[in-house]
Structure 1
Amino acid sequence: MADSNPPTSRPAQGRRFRLRYLAGTLVLLASAIIAFISNNGAEAPSVQEYYSSLESRLGYWLLLGNTRHCGLYEKGQLSPFPVSKAQRAMEEKLYTRLDLKPGSKVMDAGAGSGYVAMYMARKGLNVQAIDITPHHITDARKNVKKNGLEDKISVDYADYHNLTAFPDASFDGIYTMETFVHADDPAKVLGNFYRLLKPGGVIVLHEADFSRNSEVLQDVLRLSHCQNTLKEGGYEELVAGAGFKDYSLDDLTDEVLPLWRLFGVVGYLPYQIFKLLGIQHKFTNVMAGVETWLNWGDGRYISVRAVKP
């Protein structure tokens, strides 16, 4: 009697083996890629470690064109594109908040790859750009030279916690674009800014604060070296304590939402997989993007301005 279930043919067995081999290879490759691009999950990484991780460098390059700040959009806008146009709008917002005459000297405290400094230079300001991350300084110098702005921008290594290399009252303005949140001692940094400004000099800080604390928020802030991010209302007290006057704050939260929505949507599925594997802390920017989007309203994106009397 013939067997109603004949043995599986060798070609079919071969195809299944090849599929299993391919699947296994893809899994190993994905694991290797994850291990390669992830950060080390350090308990409290330094600013340099955060920005130098391959995850950060790839993320800023792919999504932000190597520019390390948010874009500014019309309220209610859904599409985040083009991102570069929105970033230029944010730079214009900072420039108008400075409200300085052409030829004024400003410090870009945490210049990254130099895009904000170049925008300010094209507007007629003379910029002293500083940063503490080596590849940022290298990138900024290349970009400044490529754009022919060496006569308007100087790029140097300096830590805004220690600005003794710069004389008192030597700047008309100082700004930060999403870098003051990295300060280990915010009061000391503001004190340094105050000393460097001329009477009537201006600070503008484009930063974040938060209204609701949580364990997840603290994880995100720690892993991105932003653990001293201020609670809502903290900037007014800190700025006044440093001696500044004429404090003003613009809440830009609604106008940065499209880009953060993009971060959340793009990162959502990978983030859920990372959580299942227990490795979400090794992907700081994915975690930050998704959690910020999911908990929108717990924090703000703000523009702070104050004047040295």
Structure 2
Amino acid sequence: MAKEQAVYSHGHDKSVVQDHARRTAQDSAAFLLPHIRPTDTILDVGCGPGTITADLAALVPQGKVIGSDAVEGVLTQARQVAAERGLTNVAFETADANSLPYPDDSFDIVYCHQVLQHVKDPVGILREMRRVAKPGGRVAAREADYKAWAWYPELPEISRWADLYQKVAKSNGGEPNAGRYCHVWARQAGFTPHDIDASWDSWRYTGERVRHFSLSWTGRILQPGFATTAVREGFTTDDEIKAISEAWRFWGTQEDALMVIPHGQILCRKT
């Protein structure tokens, strides 16, 4: 059974999970929503704290949604989200996306969000997602492209963070610029060009959303998945890590602060 070999650069600190829990199906799966039917069965791979998963479950009242994640701890929060919303058609299960514990042809839709950038074998995971999708079903993925991020004000510490993130993410076994590779990985996973609908979208943070995002990265950069790798590999020092963390905090207090995060998206049909 294949197991994940990459290190998750962000970790599961409160600063990370709280930020992930602000995500919705509308801002993270809008390209998929028009294709969802009320009777669909959906698998959300790498579901994290489950807010997107719960949104999807609300769209399939006669269907069912399974949220899977390799980390059991974060699924506790996901189950609480579903319970608070009164959803009875959603379940959360521990699973490694490299070896999904589901039979072939099980789901109408198989979806992942911000997963492929953090794994050692994104093609293998897309191949697994394709395997468990029903014939005629859809496989959907949405991934950020870190090299394409844009922000203001352009603090030198944030620019330094962007350079470090490229090095750390790749050293941990991931691909930080996954957005631009999604359509290529889909073809390598067995989809033909005719099966793949590739598109781009973006998050745009201003105002209160900037503040939340900056506080998240103030904490994220201090987590072992990032800081330990960065220092161990000689990319930076503990002092510089702390300085960048404080720069993130300061950046979020600026009145005109702006962050734009482009995403590559693929919607693939299993034929």
1:281 deviates by: 9.0
3-state DSSP class of the match of 2:78? Answer: helix
Between structures 1 and 2, the one with greater strand share: 2
Instruction: Specify the alignment match of 2:15 in structure 1.
Output: 58
Whole-angstrom distance in 2 between the partners of 1:301 and 1:155: 26
- The 8 Å contact of residues 138 and 270 in structure 2, kept in 1 or not, is answered as yes
* Unmatched segments (≥5 aa) in structure 1: 1-43, 70-86
Identify the structure with bigger relative contact order (alpha carbons < 8 Å, sequence gap 6+). 2
Question: What amino acid maps onto 1:168 in structure 2?
Answer: D
Give the alignment partner of residue 27 of structure 2, picking from 75, 90, 98.
90
Work out which of the residue numbers 98, 104, 111 in structure 1 matches 2:47.
111
Paired position in structure 2 for 1:38: none
CA displacement, residues 145-192 of structure 1 (integer Å, 9 cap, x when unaligned): 232213x111110010111x2100001111112222222211110110
1:249 aligns with 2:198: yes
Task: Please tell me whether the aligned partners of residues 168 and 196 of structure 1 are also in contact (alpha carbons under 8 angstroms).
Answer: yes
Aligned to 2:112: 176
Q: Which residue of 2 aligns with 1:9?
A: none
Q: CA deviation at 1:220?
A: 5.2
In 2, Cα distance between the equivalents of 1:210 and 1:266? 16
CA positional deviation for 1:95:
4.0
Q: C-alpha distance in 1, partners of 2:113/2:41?
A: 17
SS at match of 1:188: helix
Question: How many equivalent pairs are there?
Answer: 230
Matches for 1:125-204 after TM superposition, within 5 Å: 125-150=63-88, 152-163=89-100, 165-204=101-140
1:300 Cα shift? 2.8
Question: What is the TM-score of this pair, normalised by structure 1?
Answer: 0.61
Aligned to 2:228: none
Q: State which drifts further: 105-114 or 278-287.
A: 278-287
Question: Which residue of structure 1 lines up, in the alignment, with residue 182 of structure 2?
Answer: 235
Question: Which residue identity does 2:169 align to in structure 1?
Answer: L
- Measured after TM superposition, the shift of residue 279 of structure 1 is 2.8
- How far apart are residue 304 of structure 1 and its match? 1.6
Structure 1 residues 59 and 194, CA gap change in structure 2 (3 angstroms)? closer
Displacement, 1:209? 2.8
Q: Separation in 1 of the partners of 2:76 and 2:83?
A: 11
Give 3-state SS (helix, strand or coil) of 1:141's partner: helix
Runs of 4+ that moved beyond 6 A: 294-297
Report whether the alignment pairs 1:46 with 2:7.
Answer: yes
TM superposition shift of 1:132: 1.2
Q: 1:266 to 1:107 in 2, by over 3 A?
A: closer
The SS at the match of 1:181 is helix
Q: Is the 8 A contact 1:118 1:153 kept in 2?
A: yes
Q: Does 1:221 align with 2:169?
A: yes
Structure 2: runs of 5+ lacking an equivalent: 150-161, 223-236
Kindly state the Cα deviation for residue 266 of structure 1 after the two structures are TM-superposed: 4.2
Relative to structure 1, is the Cα distance of residues 277 and 301 closer, same or farther in structure 2, using a 3 angstrom cutoff?
A: same
Q: State whether residues 109 and 174 of structure 1, in contact with CA within 8 Å, keep that contact through their aligned partners in structure 2.
A: yes
Tell me: CA distance 1:284–1:108, structure 2 relative to 1, closer, same or farther (3 Å): farther
- Distance of aligned partners of 1:236 and 1:88 in 2 relative to their CA distance in 1, 3 Å threshold: closer
Please tell me whether the aligned partners of residues 107 and 127 of structure 1 are also in contact (alpha carbons under 8 angstroms): yes
Percent identity of equivalent pairs: 19
